[in-house]
Amino acid sequence: MRNNTAQAIRLREATLLRRALQWLRTHGLWLVMASAPLPALAQQVAAVQPASTGAAGVTVAGASLLPGLVREHIGLPVTLPDGAKPTLEALVVRPDRPGRWPLVLMTPGTPRSGGAGVVDRAPELLLNAAVAFAQRGYAAVIVLRRGFGHSDGPYAEGLGSCRNEDYPGAGKVSADDILGALETLHAQPWVDPERVILLGKSTGGFAVLAAAARNPQGVVGVLDFAGGRGSLRPDYVCQEDRLVAAVEQYGTTAKIPSQWVWSENDHYFSPELAQQMLSAYTSHGAPAQLAVLPPFGEDGHELLYDAPAQAWWPAAEPFLKRLNLPTAVVVDLPALAALPAPAGLNPGCQTRFDTYGASRNEGKAFVIAEGGHCSSDVTERSAQEAAQHALEYCNGKWSGCKVYAQGQGVAE
């Protein structure tokens, strides 16, 4: 398989088309209900052309927001224990220079809607975290597990029900994906296969704990950001005792040190539940520690997705230093040119626009509406996708919706 990796590494056009059609089928009726017919929405998006220059210093559209770093979407061909060979969507962010870099294999969480929402996941959810690692000399690779985004399916983690959760089964499926991706990445010329960190958020955190329980070669540490499964609604987890038992089982075999990072106001998995899981995990000798950070936003579970790296890096840095891994910045990123704010934004939208301007993802769009309202999307693969999603949301709530900015440029 490794001899064919370079050829197979590109996302297959057939897969992309199939996923695009699936997305349209899933969302078509919703768009009608939101009073945004597909032809009208398409015209709204197609009419937008980012400005090439701007008197206020607007960055040229399409120009790299990550100078000095490589940002590349790839497909990872993996082999699973049952012999299946799916291709998983991934996003690579690494220094744009020769060398073998420590690998951070990252994987995101699952929306509460479960299998119905995973197809809409994009690897850019973890782009901010990937950039933070890449700036410090890591090859960060965000991997979407089976059924997520453009990865081959079907979604295979939805086992059991809230009354009969199969946490070990879901953990096995997700760990198989992670370790299959790791085997493929070991062969890449820009990866140091003996210095690997597994990082997961939410169900991704649970996935990397399940993977680490097998003590894979080259993995020296695990970063678990609010890992768990079964959060049906805020502050409720299906069969907590079974979740704790599954984590305890992983701790019976895990030898790889792990750092767990939580927010005080996590409404998916509370810090108290995190402490129960940690006690169970370490009761058999597994090396792990928990850091609980101050509250973040309305739900601290979104810390890794939404907060700047400065909010969580202090919890990860000492752990990385103990593993003799790099922590100093080796790729400085220049400040982004300021975007002129649209007139008349309400206070909440002004804050949202500031967040939009600071995002280094090119797949972003900001939409304005009458009355100072707005919507935005900063976690898509392309500015076109982001504009479409932001317009969908806006058209469902307000009138007069139009795209104000795409990428790091203001629309004409």
CB 391 within 8 A of CB 367: yes
Rounded CA gap, 229 and 160, in Å?
12
Mean pLDDT in residue range 343-348: 96
Containing 272, the helix (H) or strand (E) segment is helix 271-282
| 108: confidence class by pLDDT, cuts 50, 70, 90 | very high
- pLDDT of 345 > 80? The answer is yes
pLDDT tens readout for residues 175-225: 999 999 999 999 999 999 999 999 999 999 999 999 999 999 999 999 999
pLDDT at residue 151, as a whole number: 97
pLDDT tens readout for residues 160-170: 899 999 999 99
| 8: confidence class by pLDDT, cuts 50, 70, 90 | very low
Is 105 in a helix, a strand, or coil?
Answer: strand
Count of CB atoms within 10 A of residue 8's CB? Answer: 16
β-sheet bridge partners, residue 72: 92
- pLDDT of 344 > 60? The answer is yes
Q: Which two tokens stand for residue 168?
A: 């070990």
CA angle 396, 397, 399 (to 5 degrees): 95
Rounded CA gap, 311 and 376, in Å?
22
Domains and CATH numbers, the chain: 35-62+336-410 (no CATH), 69-322 (3.40.50.1820)
Strands 87-95 and 69-77, bridge-based pairing: antiparallel
Is 123 in a helix, a strand, or coil?
Answer: helix
Strands 164-165 and 160-161, bridge-based pairing: antiparallel
Query: Which range is least confidently modeled, 88-102, 107-121, 280-294, 361-375?
Result: 107-121
pLDDT tens readout for residues 123-148: 999 999 999 999 999 999 999 999 99
Rounded CA gap, 232 and 346, in Å?
33
* Residues in contact with 99: Cβ distance below 8 Å, sequence separation at least 6, in sequence order: 190
- pLDDT of 392 > 90? The answer is yes
- pLDDT of 57 > 70? The answer is no
Q: Which two tokens stand for residue 162?
A: 């809230």
pLDDT at residue 50, as a whole number: 39
| 24: confidence class by pLDDT, cuts 50, 70, 90 | very low
pLDDT at residue 36, as a whole number: 35
Q: Which two tokens stand for residue 141?
A: 């690779």
**Relative orientation angle of helices 167-186 and 203-212, to the nearest 10 degrees:** 70
Average pLDDT for the chain: 87
pLDDT at residue 333, as a whole number: 96
- pLDDT of 244 > 50? The answer is yes
| 64: confidence class by pLDDT, cuts 50, 70, 90 | confident
Q: In Å, how far from its chain's centre is CA 2? A: 26
CB 50 within 8 A of CB 409: yes
Rounded CA gap, 309 and 320, in Å?
15
- pLDDT of 272 > 80? The answer is yes
Is 294 in a helix, a strand, or coil?
Answer: coil
CB 50 within 8 A of CB 406: yes
Count of CB atoms within 10 A of residue 291's CB? Answer: 16
Q: Is the dihedral of CA 344, 345, 351, 355 positive or negative?
A: negative
% of the chain surpassing 90 pLDDT: 81
pLDDT at residue 113, as a whole number: 80
> Which of left, alpha, beta for 126 (phi over 0: left; psi -120 to 50: alpha)?
alpha
| 2: confidence class by pLDDT, cuts 50, 70, 90 | very low
Strands 160-161 and 258-263, bridge-based pairing: unpaired
* Phi and psi, residue 375, nearest 5°: -145, 160
